[in-house]
Structure 1
Amino acid sequence: MSDLGRLVAGRYRLVERVGRGGMGTVWRAEDEVLGRHVAVKKLHVPPHLQDDEIRKLYERTRREARSAARITHPNVIVVHDVVDDEGLPCIVMEYIPSVTLSDVLKRQGALPVGEVARIGRIMAAALRAAHAAGVLHRDVKPANVLLGNDGRIVLTDFGIAVESGTPSLTRTGELLGSIQYLAPERLRTGIAEPGPACDLWSLGATLYQAVEGRHPFQRDTPIETAYAIAAETYEPPRNAGDLAPVIDGLLVKEPARRMAADEAERLLDAATGAGAVTGTCAEAGTAPVERPTGPERVATPATAPTATPVAATAAPARGGGRRGSRTALWCASAAVVAAVTGGVLLWPEDGAASTTPQASPSGPVTHSPDPNPSPPPPLPAGYHLQKAGQGFSVPVPDGWRRKNVPGGEIAYLDPTGRVGLRVDVVEFAGSDPLQHWHDTEEAQTRRDNPGYERVRMGPTTFRGRPAGYWEFTFNGQLREYRAVEIAFSGTDGTQYVVYLSAPNAQWTTYRPVFDTAVKGIRLRG
Structure 2
Amino acid sequence: MSDLGRLVAGRYLLVERVGSGGMGTVWRAQDKLLGRHVAVKKLHIPPHLHDDEVRTLHERTRREARSAARITHPNVIVVHDVVDDEGLPCIVMEYIPSVTLSDVLKRRGTLPPDEAARIGRAMAAALRAAHNAGVLHRDVKPANVLLADDGRIVLTDFGIAMESGTSSLTKSGELIGSIRYLAPERLRSAGPGPGPASDLWSLGATLYTAVEGRHPFQRATPIETAYAIATDSYEPLRSAGDLTPVIEGLLVKEPEARMDVHEVERHLGEVTGPGPGPGPGTGTGTGTRTASIDPPTRPDPLGDIEPPGRPEREGGGNRRRRTVLRAALAMALAACVAGGALWWLKGSAYMPGGRASRTVASTPSASTSPTPSTVPAVPAGYHLVKADTGISVPVRDGWTRKTLPGGEVGYIDPSGLVGLRVNVVQFAGTDPVQHWRDTEEDQTRRDNRGYERVRMATTTFRGRPAGYWEFTFDGRARKYRAAELAFASADGTQYVIYLSAPDAQWHDYRPVFDTAANGARLSNGA
Q: TM-score, normalised by structure 2?
A: 0.54
Distance (whole Å) between structure 2 residues aligned to residue 91 and residue 205 of structure 1: 28
Aligned to 1:267: 267
Does residue 136 of structure 2 align to residue 123 of structure 1?
no
State the 1:216 CA deviation. 1.0
The 3-state SS of whatever aligns with 2:242 is helix
Aligned to 1:517: none
Q: Per-residue CA shift, 1:464-496, capped at 9, x if unaligned?
A: 65689xxxxxxxxxxxxxxxxxxxx999xxxxx
Distance (whole Å) between structure 1 residues aligned to residue 74 and residue 80 of structure 2: 14
Aligned to 1:78: 78
Q: Per-residue CA shift, 1:384-418, capped at 9, x if unaligned?
A: xxxxxxxxxxxxxxxxxxxxxxxxxxxxxxxxxxx
The 3-state SS of whatever aligns with 2:214 is coil
The 3-state SS of whatever aligns with 1:200 is helix
Distance (whole Å) between structure 2 residues aligned to residue 92 and residue 168 of structure 1: 32
Q: Per-residue CA shift, 1:55-111, capped at 9, x if unaligned?
A: 122123213421220101011000111111111111111000011111111111111
Distance (whole Å) between structure 2 residues aligned to residue 245 and residue 217 of structure 1: 18
Aligned to 2:243: 243
Conservation of the 8 A alpha-carbon contact between 2:7 and 2:13: yes
Q: Per-residue CA shift, 1:1-59, capped at 9, x if unaligned?
A: 61001111111111100001123110001111111111111122222221112112212
Aligned to 1:54: 54
Does residue 36 of structure 2 align to residue 36 of structure 1?
yes
The 3-state SS of whatever aligns with 2:5 is coil
Aligned to 1:132: 132
Distance (whole Å) between structure 1 residues aligned to residue 191 and residue 496 of structure 2: 41
Q: Match of 1:197, as an amino acid?
A: A
Aligned to 2:9: 9
Task: Report how many residues are paired.
Answer: 328
State the 1:184 CA deviation. 2.1
Conservation of the 8 A alpha-carbon contact between 1:100 and 1:147: yes
The 3-state SS of whatever aligns with 2:25 is strand
Distance (whole Å) between structure 1 residues aligned to residue 86 and residue 226 of structure 2: 36
Conservation of the 8 A alpha-carbon contact between 1:182 and 1:202: yes
Q: Per-residue CA shift, 1:203-229, capped at 9, x if unaligned?
A: 111101100111111122222222222
Aligned to 2:23: 23
The 3-state SS of whatever aligns with 1:146 is strand
Distance change in 2, residues 1:17/1:265 (3 Å): same
Aligned to 1:101: 101
The 3-state SS of whatever aligns with 1:234 is coil
Conservation of the 8 A alpha-carbon contact between 2:211 and 2:239: yes
Aligned to 1:227: 227
Q: Match of 1:88, as an amino acid?
A: L
Conservation of the 8 A alpha-carbon contact between 2:38 and 2:94: yes
Conservation of the 8 A alpha-carbon contact between 1:164 and 1:194: no
Conservation of the 8 A alpha-carbon contact between 2:200 and 2:261: yes
Conservation of the 8 A alpha-carbon contact between 2:13 and 2:32: yes
Distance change in 2, residues 1:185/1:47 (3 Å): farther
Distance (whole Å) between structure 2 residues aligned to residue 7 and residue 180 of structure 1: 37
Q: Per-residue CA shift, 1:277-318, capped at 9, x if unaligned?
A: 899xxxxxxxxxxx9xxxxxxxxxxxxxxxxxxxxxxxxxxx
Q: Per-residue CA shift, 1:427-449, capped at 9, x if unaligned?
A: 9964755456899x9xxxxxxxx
Does residue 195 of structure 2 align to residue 183 of structure 1?
no
The 3-state SS of whatever aligns with 2:136 is coil
Aligned to 1:216: 216
The 3-state SS of whatever aligns with 1:147 is strand
Q: Per-residue CA shift, 1:357-386, capped at 9, x if unaligned?
A: xxxxxxx9868999999xxxxxxxxxxxxx
The 3-state SS of whatever aligns with 1:158 is coil
The 3-state SS of whatever aligns with 1:90 is strand
Aligned to 1:503: none
Distance change in 2, residues 1:4/1:56 (3 Å): same
Distance (whole Å) between structure 2 residues aligned to residue 149 and residue 12 of structure 1: 23
Distance change in 2, residues 1:61/1:118 (3 Å): same
Distance (whole Å) between structure 1 residues aligned to residue 195 and residue 142 of structure 2: 20
Distance change in 2, residues 1:166/1:143 (3 Å): farther
Q: Match of 1:76, as an amino acid?
A: V
Q: Match of 1:123, as an amino acid?
A: M
Distance change in 2, residues 1:33/1:224 (3 Å): same
Conservation of the 8 A alpha-carbon contact between 1:69 and 1:78: yes
The 3-state SS of whatever aligns with 2:28 is strand
After TM superposition, the structure 1 stretch with the greater mean CA deviation from structure 2, 213-222 or 119-128, is 213-222
State the 1:237 CA deviation. 1.3
Does residue 192 of structure 2 align to residue 196 of structure 1?
no
Distance change in 2, residues 1:31/1:121 (3 Å): same
Distance (whole Å) between structure 1 residues aligned to residue 148 and residue 41 of structure 2: 18
Q: Match of 1:249, as an amino acid?
A: G
Higher relative contact order (CA 8 A, sep 6+): 2
Q: Match of 1:14, as an amino acid?
A: L
Q: TM-score, normalised by structure 1?
A: 0.54
Conservation of the 8 A alpha-carbon contact between 1:98 and 1:148: yes
State the 1:268 CA deviation. 1.2
After TM superposition, the structure 1 stretch with the greater mean CA deviation from structure 2, 457-466 or 146-155, is 457-466
Distance (whole Å) between structure 2 residues aligned to residue 168 and residue 84 of structure 1: 32
* Aligned Cα root-mean-square deviation (Å): 4.2
Aligned to 2:384: none
The aligned runs of 1:436-447 (5 Å cut-off) are none
After TM superposition, the structure 1 stretch with the greater mean CA deviation from structure 2, 12-21 or 41-50, is 41-50
Q: Which runs of 5+ in 2 are unaligned?
A: 163-167, 291-296, 299-350, 358-392, 400-425, 441-454, 459-466, 471-481, 488-494, 498-526
The 3-state SS of whatever aligns with 2:17 is strand
The aligned runs of 1:62-461 (5 Å cut-off) are 62-160=62-160, 163=168, 165=170, 178-188=178-188, 194-275=194-275, 350=286, 430=429, 434=433, 458=458, 459-461=467-469
Distance change in 2, residues 1:231/1:44 (3 Å): farther
Distance change in 2, residues 1:11/1:169 (3 Å): farther
